[in-house]
Amino acid sequence: MKISEVRRVVLKIGSSSLNHPQGGIDERAINEIASVIAALKQSGVECIIVSSGAVAAGMGQLKLSARPRDLAGKQAVAAVGQGVLIEMYTRYLERQGIIGAQVLLSRIDLAQASHYRNAQNTLEKLLRLQVVPIINENDTVAVDELCFGDNDTLSALVAGLVGADLLVILTDVDGLYSANPKKDQSAQLIKEVTDVSAVECMASGAGSLLGTGGMVTKLRAAKIATRFGIGMLLLNFTRLPELSPSTKSQEPLGTFFQPLKHRLAGRKRWIAYAGLSEGSIQVDEGAAKALVEEGKSLLAKGITNVEGTWERKEIVRIINSQREEIARGVVELSDAEVKLVKGLHSEKLHQFVESFDGEEVVHRDNMTLMVDA
Ligand SMILES: Nc1ncnc2c1ncn2[C@@H]1O[C@H](COP(=O)(O)OP(=O)(O)O)[C@@H](O)[C@H]1O
Ligand SMILES: N[C@@H](CCC(=O)OP(=O)(O)O)C(=O)O
């Protein structure tokens, strides 16, 4: 994909790119981002920023030399830093004549379909107003079990939410290497990836004390974005100016993850990656085949086991007899009801569960496959 063909882009900037050697945020980096955004907008590209850096900025303010390890410490430092970070962004964007807006998202904000649509509508409105959303995780209220944890995953979900056609992840290395280049000098840069699963073994964790997740979470983001049909470019922050349409250089050097042709759209995106799933339904081989190869709904007959608890209309994972997750979907019955009907023929369901006259436990329209068909 050529940058010149992109109409809407999500730029994710990691802490490693914003950190000042003396601590805190490097204003030159924010200035650089603002000028590239101005150039992109000038040529008609809509931009959304997903920026880390709240903890790094808070550490600068509080003169801390080490990142807090405990949750409350991290949340307090992020609360100090987020204001500083957003002030810098809005100030430098304003110098380019651009209005910026802070959007803080928690995992829970995308977990319910109605909340997901609400976030979608707000971002759409901001873009229509020519405003640049500057998104970060709402670190101060996020709890360990219910957080994105890293902004790489968040940026992929945001790219899906806003229907971007490119996700750019800016970091402190030139792209994906065959091994961590900070530890292995013979590591080779991979310029293009068509199958993320095939390169997962190359990734390891964060490369600095500030980064979260390292290449592991970047590949997780690539998996999500490419399944949404969105290309992802992993780029060194030092190459940011090359995204500017006026730059005469070739396509920027980095790793490009090709979008998949069979893209997930709309509600199927939410089901697969944004909605929360508490439990799982195990199915026999016949049901697994019907779901994966024949595009069928899940019927009670093929269910062999139920794990976890949920209410009607929540999302469940569907696993095969080897416990591999094959699909996720909105379930029509509670866990207790599924236990009652598992193994039964569809026409008998109404004898066991009240106020239910459907046949499918998970309807095909409300299901997303998590493996290749
Ligand atoms: N195979 C790999 N290729 C490139 N970088 C890798 C690889 N495995 C691990 N890394 C590490 O990932 C780091 C980037 O992730 P991270 O530190 O989380 O930065 P950011 O703050 O930009 O998200 C690199 O500095 C590098 O040390
Ligand atoms: N939300 C946190 C950053 C989390 C994160 O993913 O960091 P990074 O790996 O540097 O992109 C913050 O603003 O400090």
Q: How many residues does the chain have?
A: 373
In the chain, CATH 3.40.1160.10 covers 3-267
Which atom belonging to ligand 2 lies closest to the Cα atom of 17?
Answer: 10
| Distance in angstroms (rounded) separating the CA atoms of residues 141 and 340 | 39
Amino acid present at 270: W
Nearest-Å Rg of the Cα atoms of the chain is 22
> Token pair of 325, please?
């997750």
| Distance in angstroms (rounded) separating the CA atoms of residues 49 and 93 | 12
Q: How much is the pTM?
A: 0.92
Sheet holding 315-319, edge to edge: 298-299, 360-369, 325-331, 315-319, 277-283, 303-307
ipTM of predicted complex: 0.97
Amino acid present at 117: R
Q: Which residues contact 347 (CB under 8 A, 6 or more apart)?
A: 359
Ligand 1 centroid – CA 28 distance (Å): 22
Per-residue pLDDT, 250: 65
Which DSSP string corresponds to 25-77?
B-HHHHHHHHHHHHHHHHTT-EEEEEE--HHHHHHHHHT-SS---SHHHHHHH
**Residue of the CA atom closest to atom 2 of ligand 2:** 52
| Distance in angstroms (rounded) separating the CA atoms of residues 373 and 365 | 16
Testing ligand 2's pocket by substitution, the residue of 137, 168, 237 carrying the most ligand atoms inside 8 A of its CB is: 137
Ligand 2 centroid – CA 150 distance (Å): 6
Residue indicated by tokens 């790119």: 17
The superfamily (CATH) of domain 276-369 is PUA domain (2.30.130.10)
Ligand closest in space to the Cα of 137 = 2
**Biggest CA pair distance of the chain:** 70
18 lines ligand 1 (CB under 6 A): no
In the chain, CATH 2.30.130.10 covers 276-369
H or E stretch covering 365 = strand 360-369
Q: Which CATH architecture has domain 3-267?
A: 3-Layer(aba) Sandwich (3.40)
**Residue of the CA atom closest to atom 26 of ligand 1:** 207
Which residues are annotated binding-site positions for substrate?
52, 139, 151
Ligand closest in space to the Cα of 53 = 2
Q: Please, what is the end-to-end C-alpha distance for the chain in angstroms?
A: 25
| Per-residue CA distances from 188 to 181, 183, 184, 220, 242 (Å) | 8, 12, 9, 20, 22
> Token pair of 181, please?
């280049």
> Closest by alpha carbon to 303, among 318, 323, 322?
318
213 lines ligand 1 (CB under 6 A): yes
pLDDT in 10s for each residue of the chain, 373 residues: 677 789 999 999 999 999 887 889 999 999 999 999 999 999 999 999 999 999 999 999 999 988 888 889 999 999 999 999 999 999 999 999 999 999 999 988 888 889 999 999 999 999 999 999 999 999 888 776 667 878 999 999 999 999 999 999 999 999 999 999 999 999 999 999 999 999 999 988 776 666 677 899 999 999 999 999 999 999 999 999 999 887 766 666 899 999 998 889 889 999 999 888 889 999 999 999 999 999 999 999 999 999 999 999 999 999 999 999 999 999 999 999 999 999 999 888 888 888 888 899 999 999 999 987 7
Long-range Cβ contacts of 69-73 (<8 Å, 24+ apart): 71/143, 71/144
Ligand 2 centroid – CA 193 distance (Å): 24
